Amino acid sequence: MRPELLAPAGDMERLETALRFGADAVYVGGPWLQLRAGGVSFSREALADAAKTVHGQGKKLYVAVNAFPNNAELNQLGDYARFLHDVGADAAIVADLGAIAVMRAAAPGLDIHVSTQANCVNYAAARAYHDMGATRVVLGREMTLEQIAELRARTPATLELEAFVHGAMCMAWSGRCMLSAYLTGRSANRGGCAQSCRWVYHLMEEKRPGEFFPIEEDDRGTTILSACDLNCLGFLDRLMDAGVASFKIEGRMKSPYYVATVVNAYRHRLDALLDGTATDADLAVLQRELDAASHRTFSTGFYFGDMQHHAPDSGVYAQDCAFVGVVKERLPGGRVRVEQRNKVTDGDVIEVLSPASLGLSFVAKNMTNLEGDPIDAAPVPLTLFDLDAPDAVQPGDLLRIRIK
């Protein structure tokens, strides 16, 4: 079975970006019981559009229903399951045992993927979910490669295994955290996480009230609760060997630029591994691509044992490039029209983020506004402007400039 590359999408722009840059499937949050609040939920109408878009490219759509429902919500869940099936969702991602039972009974044609929030980390639990009708388990992030391989060997082949390969890591066991709810009243388990573990903390001694001491010698304080970001690009082959069938990228709240960058890198690496053409030199190029998007310190998570104990995340988000625009259309005369996102100036070296090529760049020149007047810079977000560009630059490509 060819492994699946599964990408996040917080809206239609990010969904279309994920598909263009090589995702085999996309997961989204619907209007109810999903663990990302705010502007990253799809309405019922948007889910229907998303399903048509995804299926039109021969790919799959999974919908998160991974919050833990109360009694009243459980009573409505059957109708929601039938809606998801009818609208064309390929699977629902579910954490709660009762929710799985209700949804299976109401919509037996809707596949159930057991969410990582269910913290499935052993073969007996995986078998139990399979017996309930689940077709896939999203493994707990605390598992090692050896544990995954054993689980795979002791579960039915008809049960697919999915694992996270990239993105933010929660400091709590399988994402079940009460810190945000305690400090802010926003429950992570109901989609309202305030990411309190990323905040800067200081130490105060009981008999010295008001005197705060950094836990490490850092003028920013320290983020002792913040986990490193996960990056598995260098050992996707070992995850495949362990039996993982779907490689999941975290980030429904991330930008289209982030989604494009990460999906593009993993698509190239996975294809090279499957084709037998993967090299260390190419891996280094793709790792550099991942550095171009915002991230915290990278780690290999728990796949090789305990998380890095003595190298805590710095708390600083780093990225080597700034996203400056989206190519909207090609124009006559070797020019393109760009929707600006960050300031770009005449003479900047622009790198092209495209699924068709790696390493393409050109110098910004002959920039004009839509009236054809020469401009030295495009400083206002979402402004349209034109400039010369190589023929290889196509609509949908993203443009960036290197800042490191």
Predicted confidence at residue 310, as pLDDT, reads 43
97-139 pLDDT, tens digit per residue, is 999 999 999 999 999 999 999 999 999 999 999 999 999 999 9
364, 287 contact by CB (below 8 A): no
19 has a pLDDT exceeding 50: yes
Structural domains of the chain sorted by starting position, each given as residue range(s) with its CATH number in brackets: 4-169+227-299 (3.20.20.60), 173-213 (no CATH), 321-402 (2.40.30.10)
Length of the chain measured in residues:
404
Please give the backbone phi and psi of residue 227, each rounded to the nearest 5 degrees, phi first: -80, 155
Predicted confidence at residue 172, as pLDDT, reads 66
User: The whole model's pTM is what?
Assistant: 0.88
Average pLDDT over residues 322-338: 97
Q: What is the DSSP letter of 318?
A: B
33, 65 contact by CB (below 8 A): yes
Strand partners, 166: 231, 249
Radius of gyration for the chain, computed over Cα atoms and rounded to the nearest angstrom: 23
- In degrees, to the nearest 5, what angle opens at C-alpha 106 toward C-alphas 44 and 103? 75
Strand partners, 202: none
Q: What is the DSSP letter of 116?
A: G
Tell which residue, 181, 187, 180, 170, has the closest CA to residue 307: 170
47-71 pLDDT, tens digit per residue, is 999 999 999 999 999 999 998 999 9
